[in-house]
Amino acid sequence: MFISTNLIATRTTILILILTFSISIQSSYSKDAHVINFRSPNLYPESFAWDPSSQHFIIGSLRRPTLQSVSDAAVVDTLISDTSLPPNSAFLGLAVDTYFRRIVVAVHSPSSPAVAAYNLRTGDRIFLTLLPDSNATSTTAGANDVAVDFSGNAYVTNSASNLIYKVNKDGEYSVLSRSPIFSQSAVDPNTPYSSCGLNGVVYISKGYLLVVQSNTGKMFKVNVDDGSARTVLLNKPLNGADGMAVRRDGVVVVASKEKAYFIKSDSSWSEGAVFDETTLDADRFASAVTIGGDHRVYVLYGHIEEGIMGNTEREEFGIVEIESEKESKEDSVWIFVLIGLGLAYFMFWRFQMRQLVTNMNKKNA
């Protein structure tokens, strides 16, 4: 009976591990969405990013050149306030450069779009680079969103002129791409995004950018070396596409006023498939998306339409965790499969134990 006792102990341990693992996974996917309602008078944030070193979100402002950090507990602290910038300047897109410990910001200014970099530890400005554009025809649009690569280069979209700037880590700029495909699509003047061209941008480690265009719902793949661009073939348009983020598994999430699109590609983004959509609160206007702690996906509700009007006041804004409902259901299916396998193993184990005990009794007899 010594062998059977060891066998029982081993298989019982395996069964317990399977059931414990299944329950822990189920608990992790049944968690409530993380919601942070924070207060900052008239901030009207248009974009945000996650700083892994401080474990805080960093929020820009449509109304003033300031960056604020927001904790999980909704504690708000001013990180940077650059009073040296021209009046009516604002911080739109921003990206945390974890390799050089700085934050890079797309600066909207009535005089000229610009990009600025600040030291994340001290708040000191590293550089401020004007991004002139002779083709610009709008004073209300310009430098929009920004992404950074591992070498410290920043990539800034210009929504007024459908071009992309490249700014190196020392602040020297060039026009990376003014590809004609950015302007080939017809624009519907009746859409609320008709004046907004290239918008959200993310850097992919294989050496290219993914950029979305708000007024057409298109996505483009742009080479960071020569600026060549091509349209990513999608199974549906990304209506009103605004902010972008990339999950660790390569899934790209695009936020618009009303929806968050979950997109994947098996062809290095020659093609892409929108495999799920999450409905967002259109009244609060989600303008940005980022990947926060524990690789969770968050959207920013900044009430941008109110902020653009200029004659409104608001104090509370929101950061809300979202997830793909389709992926959650698939995960739930796997949980039940694991539990089923555990139970099947348990029933098989009981049958084997009964046979073993019967055989042992026959030998003893």
List, for residues 156-195, the tens digit of each pLDDT value.
Answer: 999 888 999 999 999 999 999 999 999 875 444 444 444 5
pLDDT given for residue 231 in this prediction: 97
d(CA 262, CA 22): 26
How far is residue 31 CA from its own chain's centroid?
20
pLDDT tens digit string along 200-257? 999 999 999 999 999 999 999 999 999 999 999 999 999 999 999 999 999 999 999 9
- pTM value? 0.82
Q: What is the mean pLDDT of the chain?
A: 85
Residue with the bigger pLDDT between 283 and 31: it is: 283
pLDDT given for residue 68 in this prediction: 97
Residue with the bigger pLDDT between 246 and 132: it is: 246
Q: How many degrees, rounded to 5, is the angle at CA 19 between CA 17 and CA 25?
A: 100
pLDDT given for residue 149 in this prediction: 97
With beta carbons less than 8 A apart as the criterion, state whether 318 and 339 touch.
Answer: no
pLDDT given for residue 66 in this prediction: 96
Which range, of 43-47, 216-220, 249-253, 345-349, averages the lowest pLDDT?
345-349
Q: Is the dihedral of CA 265, 243, 226, 139 positive or negative?
A: positive
Bridge partners of residue 39, in order along the sequence: 316
Percentage of the residues of the chain whose pLDDT score is greater than 90: 67
Rounded mean pLDDT, 86-105: 94
pLDDT given for residue 260 in this prediction: 97
Residue with tokens 């009303």: 258
Reported confidence tier of residue 7, pLDDT bands at 50, 70, 90: low
29 has a pLDDT exceeding 80:
no
Compute CA distances 140 → 20, 46, 137, 216, 308, whole Å: 56, 14, 9, 19, 10
Which range, of 194-203, 216-225, 277-286, 312-321, averages the lowest pLDDT?
194-203
Residue with the bigger pLDDT between 293 and 332: it is: 293
pLDDT given for residue 312 in this prediction: 86
d(CA 60, CA 93): 7
67 has a pLDDT exceeding 50:
yes
pLDDT given for residue 347 in this prediction: 65
Bridge partners of residue 136, in order along the sequence: none
